[in-house]
Structure 1
Amino acid sequence: MVRNVILLSLLIIANLFGQSQGIELIHADKHIGKKVGGEQLRIFEGNVHFQQDTIHMWCDRAVMYEEKEKIDFEGHVIITDGKSTIRAKKIEYYWQPQQSYCYGQVRIKTEKDSLYSEYLEYNFKDGSALARENLYLFNRENLTHIWGQYGFYNPQEKFSQVSIQAHLMKIDSASNDTLNIFGQVLQYFDRKEERKAVAIDSVTILQGDLKAVCDTAIYWIEKDLAVLKHNPRAWYEDSRLKAVEMEVYFDSLRLKRITLIGEAEARTLADSTTGEEDVLKGKLIHFHIKNKKAERIIAIDNASSLYYITDENEERGANFATADTIKIFFQAGRLDSISIIGGARGTYYPEAFKKEIDVE
């Protein structure tokens, strides 16, 4: 008899929720009603299951605040609409705007992405989200990992941002090459006309033997191209590069070419014992890489070079040249030959020459 009364009461409550509040109680082992501070509360315990339209909610315990149109879910909380599934220790859910506030070991999974954090705000109507504390995002489609401390997503603008110790790591499934981008802010634009990632403030890029730093970097997804702005500097094996702007070209995340634009300079260690460096300058420099080794360097427009060479008699000296274009060729990453084109001028300094050689 008592069991029948309980079942009947739950059925009445479920119908009431479904008709007047847009949210329906599917099941709860236990239901208690009480007033706290003049507000009517309904407490549900044990295998709790609610539904609102296509959204299903499960937990161990739920407290409904009728005046606030809110339910607090606690213990093994799961909320899903078939497209997105959230798990957390506790979720506050406002059923009219379909807005959730999630706390503790939060996980949200969609068809393409998984997100982990300690706190999440998520709206089931428009898909907007805000997350903070130990944020981690994984995109299964393009094998991209993102870490940070604060992030948000605007579905209308198809724009997301992660900030505070932000880190993006992208892995190529074929070559297993990895691209790492660090910055204080990472932005992602997922629009057809411009799919790109932007790193801002204290940016560092790592890929194989490449390390680059700058204030702003833009990675164009379709072009596999990173543009480094505002005081860019780069290091590749024994070479140091600098310019006003840099373009870093990849092929399936494998480094292919670095183009230095404006006040371009490439320095390569010639002798580790003396610290002497080969120097190439120009308005534009193309630094080509093949099989992860420097293949050739081309300086264009007001080009100048200083290269340390050893002839067939083992006599060593330095060659300084200026021209419209200077091409440097490498074999197995070592200097092989130099080609000077247009308006060439050059000077050879034997090893006995002791004065410092300046490159203008």
Structure 2
Amino acid sequence: MKKILFQILLYTTLTLCQHGGEPIIINGDSLVGKQVNGENIREVIGNVVLTQGNVRITCNKATQYLAKNDALLEGNVIATQDTLTIKTERGFYYGDERITESKSEVTLNDRRMTLTALSGEYHFNERIAYFNRHVTLTDETSTLTSNNLTYFRQEEKAVAVGYVTIRDSVNIIKADSLVHFRNSKITFAEKNVRIKNQKENTVIFGEHLEDYSKKNYSVMTDKPVLVQIDTTDSGDIDTLVISSVKMESFNDSSKKFIATDSVKIIRGLFASKNAYSIFYRNEDKIITMKRKPEDNFPVLWYNLTQLTGDSIAIMLNDNQLDRIEVYGNGLILSSNADYETRYDQMSGDMITIYFDTSGINNTEVTGNVLSIYYSYEGTEPNGLIKASSQKGRIFFEDDKVNEVKMYSNVLSEYHPENLVTGNELSFALPAFILINDRPLKDDLIWNIIKKYKVLIND
């Protein structure tokens, strides 16, 4: 095979015709042409400048494969197109497709955005970047990392796949895949999603997230669970867990959080099941309610006490239960650990439960009050008292009913023990209902650990 070798020293300008397209122009200090395995190649060495339309690439050395119209670029490779800059140590440029590729560390800068990875390619015509392995995208407000990322310059959209994390000043979002619009600050995340609010120490787990940062609004669907870890005044860890079908977070002045459908709430000795809950984070207040006639009424448990009504408001003070208010068709049941079938009961239009550091202090019931209170002599049962009035009050000691008082239009009747024993459940108020499927915190937390393979504060 006859080899052709020529070398032009000093400054050389080489124009190569692209296959039916715009010509590539290469400038350099020297040029060497040769034929290897029947293929014509040309090497341009020193201060190399390659241009094709609005694409400009500089490097230390370029090897042009004439038949393929490709070029191997080596040493301080810098490619530019309008505001875009790509830097790497070694890469390829495919002239027919106007694509540059690097299997070395590569950095892409575009105005206020920087994209880095261990390998990547950029399509100049389509203005799309495909970056792989240890990808990082940073801009003025957030940092995104992933295994793979596709960036659409025209839309300023990033599509990330594989161990995705995006961080800003408030939130950290993790997911299997994520779509992020830089201009609108809208993010969609899919599968194994976690969003952590660093200021409020909350984490929401789920399978689908939509985050609208400019609107201060986000929504999580498909088995979402919220976990918030607080510390009590005594230094104990107090964890709030909420699960539902849909969760919405408003980070505006209202600072509210809404859980919808099949809602479960657990915090310390407190638990609830309901159809709709609003958590006002600034006010330390949770409201649960029925929104539709077919919804189940909200139910709440605290230690041995069950509470139901049309709507329930839970007030906190310094991360401690302060009081609970029940509006409409309220019913409070308190069980006795020694006599499982004996439930002290009181119903009314409104119920207010007051707490102190030891638990429930007292309960006030107003409007059409009905009550059943079991009597004891010491620890021995001694019948029950049925009563009605316009107002009633239950006093607790060690979270057990200690005394019941009725006020205004009081009517009462005593039922002796011999008529009560074995017939306890027949002595029930019209509103009596016993709900046994109390949610357990350990079950919800364990489900998170099993599914996401992380600790809840990871």
Asked if TM exceeds 0.5, the reply is: yes
Counterparts in 2 of 1:255 and 1:61: CA distance versus 1, 3 Å:
same
TM-score when normalising by structure 1? 0.91
Percent identical among aligned pairs is: 18
Deviating above 6 A after TM superposition, structure 1's stretches of 4 or more consecutive aligned residues are 1-4
Structure 1 residue 314, shift from structure 2 partner: 5.5
Larger CA deviation: 213-222 vs 8-17: 8-17
Larger CA deviation: 133-142 vs 303-312: 303-312
Structure 1 residue 86, shift from structure 2 partner: 0.7
Alignment of 1:118 with 2:184, yes or no, is no
Alignment of 1:159 with 2:199, yes or no, is no
Larger CA deviation: 40-49 vs 295-304: 40-49
Give the 5 Å matches for 1:285-324.
285-311=351-377, 316-324=382-390
Counterparts in 2 of 1:10 and 1:140: CA distance versus 1, 3 Å:
farther
In structure 2, what is the equivalent of residue 279 of structure 1?
345
Counterparts in 2 of 1:302 and 1:259: CA distance versus 1, 3 Å:
same
Alignment of 1:341 with 2:407, yes or no, is yes
Counterparts in 2 of 1:65 and 1:277: CA distance versus 1, 3 Å:
same
In structure 1, what is the equivalent of residue 262 of structure 2?
202
Structure 1 residue 29, shift from structure 2 partner: 1.3
Deviations 1:200-242 (A, max 9, x none): 1111000111110011111111111111112211121111111
Counterparts in 2 of 1:296 and 1:126: CA distance versus 1, 3 Å:
same
In structure 2, what is the equivalent of residue 31 of structure 1?
91
* Alignment check: 8 A CA contact 1:255 1:292 kept: no
Structure 1 residue 74, shift from structure 2 partner: 0.7
Structure 1 residue 79, shift from structure 2 partner: 0.9
In structure 2, what is the equivalent of residue 5 of structure 1?
45
SS of equivalent residue, structure 2 residue 251? strand
Tell me how large the CA RMSD over aligned residues is.
2.4
SS of equivalent residue, structure 1 residue 321? strand
- Give the letter aligned to residue 13 of structure 1: I
Alignment of 1:240 with 2:306, yes or no, is yes
TM-score when normalising by structure 2? 0.73
Deviations 1:90-141 (A, max 9, x none): 1100112221000100011112211110101112222111101100111111
Structure 1 residue 67, shift from structure 2 partner: 2.0
Deviations 1:160-189 (A, max 9, x none): 001111011112245432111101111001
Pick from 318, 330, 336: which aligns with 1:252? Answer: 318
Structure 1 residue 273, shift from structure 2 partner: 3.6
Counterparts in 2 of 1:286 and 1:320: CA distance versus 1, 3 Å:
same
Deviations 1:21-60 (A, max 9, x none): 42112x201121226xx63321123121111112111111
In structure 2, what is the equivalent of residue 357 of structure 1?
427
- Give the letter aligned to residue 191 of structure 1: D
- Report the Cα distance in structure 1 between the residues aligned to 2:50 and 2:361, rounded to whole angstroms: 76
Structure 1 residue 313, shift from structure 2 partner: 10
Give the 5 Å matches for 1:69-218.
69-175=127-233, 176-192=237-253, 194-218=254-278
Counterparts in 2 of 1:63 and 1:267: CA distance versus 1, 3 Å:
same
Structure 1 residue 272, shift from structure 2 partner: 4.0
- Report the Cα distance in structure 2 between the residues aligned to 1:16 and 1:30, rounded to whole angstroms: 10
- Report the Cα distance in structure 2 between the residues aligned to 1:109 and 1:52, rounded to whole angstroms: 20
SS of equivalent residue, structure 1 residue 46? coil
- Give the letter aligned to residue 250 of structure 2: F
- Report the Cα distance in structure 2 between the residues aligned to 1:195 and 1:181, rounded to whole angstroms: 16
SS of equivalent residue, structure 1 residue 122? strand
- Report the Cα distance in structure 2 between the residues aligned to 1:50 and 1:219, rounded to whole angstroms: 43
- Report the Cα distance in structure 1 between the residues aligned to 2:276 and 2:202, rounded to whole angstroms: 20
Structure 1 residue 7, shift from structure 2 partner: 5.8
* Alignment check: 8 A CA contact 2:313 2:326 kept: yes
In structure 1, what is the equivalent of residue 83 of structure 2?
22
- Give the letter aligned to residue 405 of structure 2: S
Alignment of 1:224 with 2:290, yes or no, is no
Structure 1 residue 4, shift from structure 2 partner: 8.2
Unaligned runs of 5+ in 2: 1-29, 32-42, 59-76, 291-296, 431-458
Counterparts in 2 of 1:318 and 1:54: CA distance versus 1, 3 Å:
same
Give the 5 Å matches for 1:317-332.
317-332=383-398
SS of equivalent residue, structure 1 residue 97? coil
- Give the letter aligned to residue 62 of structure 1: G
Structure 1 residue 312, shift from structure 2 partner: 6.4
- Give the letter aligned to residue 281 of structure 2: I
Counterparts in 2 of 1:334 and 1:313: CA distance versus 1, 3 Å:
closer
In structure 2, what is the equivalent of residue 55 of structure 1?
113
Structure 1 residue 6, shift from structure 2 partner: 6.8
* Alignment check: 8 A CA contact 1:41 1:65 kept: yes
Structure 1 residue 82, shift from structure 2 partner: 3.8
Paired residues, what number?
355
- Report the Cα distance in structure 2 between the residues aligned to 1:5 and 1:222, rounded to whole angstroms: 66
- Report the Cα distance in structure 1 between the residues aligned to 2:380 and 2:165, rounded to whole angstroms: 66
